[in-house]
Amino acid sequence: MQLAARARNIGASPTLAMNARAKEMVQQGIDVLSFTVGEPDFDTPIHIAETGIEAIKDGFTRYTPAAGIPELKEAICTKLKRDNNLEYEPSDVVVSNGAKHSIYNALQALIEDGDEVIIPAPYWVSYTEMVKLNGGIPIVIPTMADNGFKLTPEQLEEKLTDRTKAIFINSPNNPTGAVYAKKELESLASILVPRGIVIIADEVYEKLLYDGAVFTSVASLGPDVKEHTVTINGVSKTYAMTGWRIGYAAAPRALARAMANIQSHATSSPNSIAQLAATAALTGDQAPVQKMLAEFARRRELMVTKINTIPGMSCRKPEGAFYVFADVADLFGRTIRGQQINNSTDLAELLLSEAHVALVPGAAFGLDEFIRFSYATSTDVIERGLARVKNVLAEAQ
Ligand code: GLU
């Protein structure tokens, strides 16, 4: 059987694949400590979970409107107004099976064959692949650690062509935690908007901010920017609801309608029960979010401090999200237990086999000199995992 080129040209998501490998090894009885997938280790707050249980008991178990139930769309509009100063109406909102699906819908609705999509690197692993799956061409622009891993207007301008259709702006960023200041977003938008380039603003980590970092939603910069922006968000990271699979997009009406139509053919509505739970998440008590955030902040301190004591590794303090992107270039060319480390994948493989520590190589995010640790895991795992990494790397020759 001959598979379509689009299927032949992509592999599995590296974050999910590394997570699956770690889990498989654990099942085989190997004590693997995992820093792979970005998934809060907390339970979904109880009032949200109970709303889901009640939904099942009440028989709320049927198809819903393809773009989501009115209550949830209203709750999303209220949230966007309350938290982001954004005015959207329910018809501008499409609820999907996770924010990943929202991004996919947006690309389906926007990208023609050969359209170019700007992706600042490091980027979340699925952006490039989703662009390719939709016939587009990812135009990757590497950012610099000295600039806080943020795209500059000069870098952006250099890569624009008359085929540039869209750009991804992901703040707080996965994997670096970088948070764009309002002024920085304004400079980028002032280049993009006059050219009619669509901004795909992935804001899924907006609530995970540290040390007073301030989040600005791209569409809030002004009505003209809003007209060119699709805002992507979801409940997975903020409310520890990864398995419920609810994300959403808010977009100019015509784009939202197109995304809803596409979704109505591809997947129908998202899960009815999860939609009610997501409504409870957005409208209910926000105290659990602050509690989880406080715990992430503690883990971040611990992880950054520990990583910076490991010879050959260094990292900056991320301002947001729950990842540390550590520079490991100093280890390249060194040998440990007979294995030469030439790139981030070699290092990730070595740490998995020799230290039983799982993480995601920077190559998956478009910057090979780094590796990503997720600190959405316990302080105990962080302590023990980084001690193992340190011990194995101490053998580097
Ligand atoms: N976004 C998370 C991560 O980067 C979840 C896994 C995924 O979908 O990539 O780990």
Give me the pLDDT at residue 254, please.
98
Asked whether residue 223 falls in the same domain as residue 82, the answer is yes
Asked whether residue 35 falls in the same domain as residue 91, the answer is no
Two structure tokens written together for 47: 């009032």
Distance 21 CA to ligand 1 centre (A): 15
Please answer whether residues 168 and 119 qualify as being in contact, where contact means their C-beta atoms are separated by less than 8 angstroms. Answer: yes
The CATH number that applies at residue 316 is: 3.90.1150.10
Separation of alpha carbons 20 and 379, rounded Å:
22
- Cis ω for the linkage preceding 138 (within 30 of 0): no
In whole angstroms, how far apart are CA 340 and each of 334, 337, 397? Answer: 6, 8, 9
Question: Is 275 within the bounds of a domain?
Answer: yes
Question: Is 200 within the bounds of a domain?
Answer: yes
- Strands in 323-327's sheet, in edge-to-edge order, are 323-327, 370-374, 360-361
Asked whether residue 333 falls in the same domain as residue 220, the answer is no
Asked whether residue 24 falls in the same domain as residue 82, the answer is no
**Ligand 1 close to Cβ of residue 170 (< 6 A):** no
The CATH number that applies at residue 254 is: 3.40.640.10
In sequence order, the 6+-apart residues with CB closer than 8 A to the CB of 229 are 198, 199, 200, 201, 218, 219, 251
Q: Pick the last residue of a domain from 235, 256, 283.
A: 283
Please answer whether residues 307 and 372 qualify as being in contact, where contact means their C-beta atoms are separated by less than 8 angstroms. Answer: no
Domain extent at residue 148: 63-283
Question: Is 54 within the bounds of a domain?
Answer: no
Tens digit of each residue's pLDDT (9 = 90 or more) over 2-34: 999 999 988 889 899 889 999 999 999 999 999
Tell me which residues of the chain have a pLDDT lower than 70.
none
Give me the pLDDT at residue 111, please.
98
**Ligand 1 close to Cβ of residue 38 (< 6 A):** yes
Distance 16 CA to ligand 1 centre (A): 7
Question: Is 156 within the bounds of a domain?
Answer: yes
Give me the pLDDT at residue 128, please.
97
CB atoms within 10 A of CB 388: 17
Distance 276 CA to ligand 1 centre (A): 24
Buried b (16+ CB within 10 A) or exposed e, 320-355: bbbbbbbbbbebbebebeeeebebbbbbbebbbebb
**Ligand 1 close to Cβ of residue 51 (< 6 A):** no
The number of the ligand 1 atom at minimal distance from the alpha carbon of 100 is 8
Distance 244 CA to ligand 1 centre (A): 14
Establish how many alpha carbons lie within 13 A of residue 215's alpha carbon, considering only the half-sphere containing its beta carbon.
23
Asked whether residue 242 falls in the same domain as residue 294, the answer is no
Distance 29 CA to ligand 1 centre (A): 25
Give me the pLDDT at residue 78, please.
98
pTM summary value: 0.96
Please answer whether residues 271 and 244 qualify as being in contact, where contact means their C-beta atoms are separated by less than 8 angstroms. Answer: yes
Q: Which amino acid is at 261?
A: N
Question: Is 379 within the bounds of a domain?
Answer: yes
In whole angstroms, how far apart are CA 245 and each of 30, 65, 116, 269, 277? Answer: 30, 16, 29, 12, 11
Question: Is 81 within the bounds of a domain?
Answer: yes
Separation of alpha carbons 375 and 323, rounded Å:
6
Find the length of the chain.
Answer: 397
Question: With DSSP H G I counted as helix, E B as strand and the rest as coil, what are the percentages for the chain, rounded to 5?
Answer: 45, 15, 40
Asked whether residue 316 falls in the same domain as residue 266, the answer is no
Q: Pick the last residue of a domain from 249, 265, 283.
A: 283
Give me the pLDDT at residue 11, please.
87
Asked whether residue 24 falls in the same domain as residue 107, the answer is no
Buried b (16+ CB within 10 A) or exposed e, 137-165: bbbbbebebeebbbbbeebbeeebeeebb
Give me the pLDDT at residue 333, please.
97
Two structure tokens written together for 343: 């790139």
Asked whether residue 87 falls in the same domain as residue 32, the answer is no
Q: How many domains does the chain have?
A: 2
Separation of alpha carbons 317 and 323, rounded Å:
10
Asked whether residue 19 falls in the same domain as residue 165, the answer is no
Tens digit of each residue's pLDDT (9 = 90 or more) over 27-82: 999 999 999 999 999 999 999 999 999 999 999 999 999 999 999 999 999 999 99
Cα 69 versus chain centre, distance? 25
Question: Is 20 within the bounds of a domain?
Answer: yes
User: Which position has the token pair 């139509």?
Assistant: 261
Asked whether residue 158 falls in the same domain as residue 118, the answer is yes
Asked whether residue 189 falls in the same domain as residue 234, the answer is yes
Ligand 1, atom 5, lies closest to the CA of 38
Asked whether residue 234 falls in the same domain as residue 302, the answer is no
In sequence order, the 6+-apart residues with CB closer than 8 A to the CB of 116 are 136, 137, 138, 139, 161, 163, 164, 165
Question: Is 49 within the bounds of a domain?
Answer: no
**Ligand 1 close to Cβ of residue 359 (< 6 A):** no
Q: Pick the last residue of a domain from 283, 306, 341.
A: 283
